[in-house]
Structure 1
Amino acid sequence: MTSDLSLTKCQWKKTCKKSGTLPCNNGCKQRYCREHIELHHRELDAHIQRVYSERDRLVQEMYFEMNTSTESNQAFDTIKKWEQEMMMVIKQVADKARFDVQTLIDKTKLSLKERFDHLTEDVRKESEKNVPIEYDIERLSKAVEQLKMDRHSNKVTPVTIQIQHRTVDFDGVFKMETVESEPILFDIHHVLTNNKSQRTKTVDIGHGTSMVASDNSLLYWQQTQLCLVDQTGSNKKILSWRHSYIEDLCWCSKLNQFFIWTRDGGYSFDDLTFAIVKIKQIPRASLIGHNCCTCVGNTLLLVINRNIELWRPSPKWVCEKKWVNIVEQKEIIRCIRLNENDIVAMTVGSTKIKYRFELRHLSSMIVTKYLELNVALFSTNIVLLPNDEWLLLVQQSESTTKLMVIDKQCQIRQQMDSNEHRVANVALINHRILIIRTKEPNQLHFHYLN
């Protein structure tokens, strides 16, 4: 008799109606048919290899940063400076000690000389008068003989100089401790001007605007194609896109896959296997109004006009929460981003009302801070930066574009006009490579931060 367990349907992400499934035997609760369990194992192997590669890359980068950081160099410079100063002090002390010893020796010589001189002074004076006194000569001779005897018997020897010194305790001279370094803030001027000649790369592409970055690659849409390139803009993979119009793209780190939102629903794209899978639970993007999305960890936010939906990316794709009409009736949410601290950043406004930049908390979606931009936007994009900062692309027209760095207090810390021609979009790979997409010419401009 066949058990109920063996008749469980295959849970492969593609539609499979086969029964008689097998467990994975690796802690996974899913069950698959014989055909798809092999594919599932391959996916798991590819996933773990990607995690290992990312781990190794991060470790190497951190080692390099530790070896070349300004703080490390300053620590070694401090030790070297102390060493040089101590050597100078020690030399000065030793020079003074040598001077003091020589002074004692000279003093002893002078004392001995004075002792000899007084014995011969009288004889010398009489000799100058050419009247030698036999008695004095005899007395002087006896004194010299006595001095010889005293010298041989060690009764008369040069003064012995004894030197005592203190041992300098160098233990505990240096106190070592690790302190948190000041955060390195993103500098848009340095990225786009100072490094322009040596640390940039330009890649010609097709027409389009949409693009999104993962930790290692960039996915962009051009006409009827999806294109995937690595951090150098090379190793391009091109896939034909036969589905509906793409409203927005984002990277789902939880699944290690890209999420593609279209007017006929959502899709996942695996950048290792290049598999594109329809997610039947995800609703269609609205044909009226504006749609955008963002994903961090296990949280996917979908914006449909004035509403926001919170989804959990997983094999089941569950909508967990909805916020309805969170902006004014005539307003739209043009762009939304979520960071790892559950801070939601949005650009909100309408064609007739000037736009603003808002910060909200994910738990309540209540506005905590906002910044009036005082412009009517042609298009906009937000990029996550370190230290709870944001890079805001503000396109007022097809020829007028500003890049703004917004700090955690929702204030403009930096801004500049873009030197690129007709900026269409901007992305950041792993906080190290800024990519600007332009129109006419259709290009990707890679700016390497370090």
Structure 2
Amino acid sequence: MSQQCAESKCERRFRASCDCCNKNLCLQHLNEHNALVISQLTPLTDKINMLCHQLQSFNIHEVTGIGRGKLEQWRKDCHEKIDQIFEKKCQELDYLFTEEMNQQNKKILQIKSKIDKLIREQEATKQDIDLLTSEIHQLDEEITKLNITNFQINTYPLVIEDSFIQINKIDEYKIDLSNVAHVHRTLKIRDGSYTTLADNNQFLLVHQKPNLCLIDREMNVVKQVLWSFKSILDMCWSSTLDQFIIIEEENVFILDDKTMSIQKMKNIQNRSCLSCACSNTSLFLSTNSWGSSILQLRLSPSITMVKEWTSPITCAKDERIDNMTYRNETLAIIIKNNVDKSVRIELRSCETLNRIWSLPLNIISNGPILFRCCSLNYMEWLVTDHENKNLLHITRDGNLKTFVMYDRIPYCAQLLHSNLLIIFTEKGINSHQV
């Protein structure tokens, strides 16, 4: 005897088993179930069409803009180096010719002095005349030859290997803090150096007492300049100015990484600042006080104050902003509480300073040393906990992803070239492949 349809209150006999619910259904309910399954294709079609449109709407030059910018900067730097070598060699060439001219001019003065003496003393012999004639004739030949002097210049082809530029896709999970157990390079730092870092996507800026130094990824000093001002509290790079910003106890300075010239920034209104961060259009400064304010300065066409956020928007009256880091229109802010000594990290909008998320850190601050953070790939963050010798890896949505113990006290960190983590410790600067 045949079975009835499995649908409630249906007295018809089942015709087949439905593959979506595994029930024995009559023809009518089987068709209804089939129609229900088919109807689910429409939103899937809409979704795939939307993804297709999204993919086709990508502007390859906008997506790869940052990378192209780095390539353009590399090309610009290479051209500048070629120009520098060219100018140097031209100066060497001019120097060699000038030296030869000076030698001939010296001989002219010597002969002229002899003639003047003979005229003055009214004493000259035929031997004197013959000798002077011979010397002048020889000098004439030498000067004539000088006019057609050629210099042997040996040039060699400039060899630029394709491997000089490496392009790698960044994996969201590529940053692995377990690799910090292996040190790639180390730069010893002299006592009295200020523990802060900044980079311009090519070189690190560090203080190696008594100088400010540009360091390459192999920890070699590329350029340096004497730092003759007060304590450095923070540093950052401005891609708009194409210069470094340096926060000192009383002033803000600008460092040109090409000439290594240092200039005092104007329009700060004598405000004492503690930390800095740069977006594409603005410089953000936090004041060195409890209940810190945040100043926003427009960078172009001139550096101009445009806004100031004060407590309690920035932080409470008994709190201080230790550090700020910019990334993708947001500011990661490290805030220290002066009452309970707690430390937290917050992500704020650059436009409104509205809080996106806040994460209390398991840190009790027992001293005056500033807490710092740096940005990692994919909007993640790294906080250096010098109190507990930890590195705290924070996710893009404000959760603690992981933390690792570091064998030295970490004061600050910087990610260079997307895969080289630089950590400033009490013994020196370490680099790690991550």
| CA distance 1:203–1:374, shift in 2 (3 Å) | closer
**1:208-287 equivalences in 2 (<5 Å):** 208=193, 209-286=195-272
Q: 2-side partners of 1:416 and 1:57: how far apart?
A: 37
| CA distance 1:49–1:436, shift in 2 (3 Å) | same
Q: Displacement of 1:48 after TM fit?
A: 7.3
Task: Letter of the 1:321 partner, please give it.
Answer: K
Task: Letter of the 1:243 partner, please give it.
Answer: F
Residue in 1 that maps onto 2:422? 435
Give secondary structure in 1 for the equivalent of 2:76: helix
Task: Letter of the 1:356 partner, please give it.
Answer: R
Residue in 2 that maps onto 1:410? 398
Give TM-score scaled by structure 1 length: 0.56
1:61 aligns with 2:166: yes
Q: 1-side partners of 2:165 and 2:386: how far apart?
A: 38
Give secondary structure in 2 for the equivalent of 1:387: helix
Task: Letter of the 2:202 partner, please give it.
Answer: N
Give secondary structure in 2 for the equivalent of 1:329: coil
Give secondary structure in 2 for the equivalent of 1:374: strand
**1:360-375 equivalences in 2 (<5 Å):** 360-375=348-363
Residue in 2 that maps onto 1:380? 371
Q: Displacement of 1:351 after TM fit?
A: 3.3
Q: Displacement of 1:285 after TM fit?
A: 4.8
| CA distance 1:230–1:406, shift in 2 (3 Å) | same
Residue in 2 that maps onto 1:294? 277
Residue in 2 that maps onto 1:18? none
Q: 2-side partners of 1:59 and 1:202: how far apart?
A: 23
Residue in 2 that maps onto 1:167? none
1:203 aligns with 2:190: no
Q: 2-side partners of 1:268 and 1:313: how far apart?
A: 12
Unaligned 5+ segments in structure 2 are 1-71, 81-160
| CA distance 1:366–1:276, shift in 2 (3 Å) | same
Residue in 2 that maps onto 1:346? 333
Report if aligned partners of 2:385, 2:410 keep a CA contact under 8 Å in 1: no
Report if aligned partners of 1:380, 1:395 keep a CA contact under 8 Å in 2: yes
Q: Displacement of 1:46 after TM fit?
A: 9.5
407-416 or 427-436, larger mean C-alpha shift: 427-436
Q: 2-side partners of 1:214 and 1:283: how far apart?
A: 27
| CA distance 1:223–1:235, shift in 2 (3 Å) | closer
Task: Letter of the 1:336 partner, please give it.
Answer: M
Report if aligned partners of 1:355, 1:376 keep a CA contact under 8 Å in 2: yes
Give TM-score scaled by structure 2 length: 0.58
Q: 2-side partners of 1:185 and 1:351: how far apart?
A: 36
1:188 aligns with 2:171: no
Q: Displacement of 1:59 after TM fit?
A: 9.7
| CA distance 1:295–1:221, shift in 2 (3 Å) | same
Give secondary structure in 1 for the equivalent of 2:356: strand
Residue in 2 that maps onto 1:392? 383
**What is the alpha-carbon root mean square deviation over aligned residues?**
2.8
Q: 2-side partners of 1:59 and 1:364: how far apart?
A: 41
Task: Letter of the 1:220 partner, please give it.
Answer: V
Q: Displacement of 1:315 after TM fit?
A: 5.5
Which ranges of 4 or more aligned residues in structure 1 deviate by more than 4 Å? 45-48, 56-59
Q: 2-side partners of 1:345 and 1:58: how far apart?
A: 35
| CA distance 1:448–1:283, shift in 2 (3 Å) | farther
Report if aligned partners of 2:231, 2:248 keep a CA contact under 8 Å in 1: yes
Q: 2-side partners of 1:394 and 1:417: how far apart?
A: 9
Unaligned 5+ segments in structure 1 are 1-44, 67-180
Report if aligned partners of 1:393, 1:425 keep a CA contact under 8 Å in 2: yes
Task: Letter of the 2:276 partner, please give it.
Answer: C
Residue in 2 that maps onto 1:49? 76
The superposition leaves residues 200-256 of structure 1 with CA deviations (integer Å, 9 ceiling, x where unpaired) of 011212132122122011111234321221111113433111123222111111122
Q: 2-side partners of 1:338 and 1:210: how far apart?
A: 16
Q: Displacement of 1:445 after TM fit?
A: 0.9
Task: Letter of the 2:410 partner, please give it.
Answer: V
Q: 2-side partners of 1:315 and 1:57: how far apart?
A: 37
Report if aligned partners of 1:256, 1:270 keep a CA contact under 8 Å in 2: yes
Task: Letter of the 1:183 partner, please give it.
Answer: E
Task: Letter of the 2:433 partner, please give it.
Answer: Y
| CA distance 1:211–1:382, shift in 2 (3 Å) | same
Q: Displacement of 1:358 after TM fit?
A: 0.9
313-322 or 297-306, larger mean C-alpha shift: 313-322
Report if aligned partners of 2:410, 2:425 keep a CA contact under 8 Å in 1: yes
| CA distance 1:280–1:370, shift in 2 (3 Å) | same
312-321 or 291-300, larger mean C-alpha shift: 312-321
Task: Letter of the 1:428 partner, please give it.
Answer: L
Tell me the percent identity.
23
Q: Displacement of 1:438 after TM fit?
A: 1.6
Give secondary structure in 1 for the equivalent of 2:237: strand
Q: Displacement of 1:258 after TM fit?
A: 0.7
Aligned length: 273
Report if aligned partners of 1:262, 1:285 keep a CA contact under 8 Å in 2: no
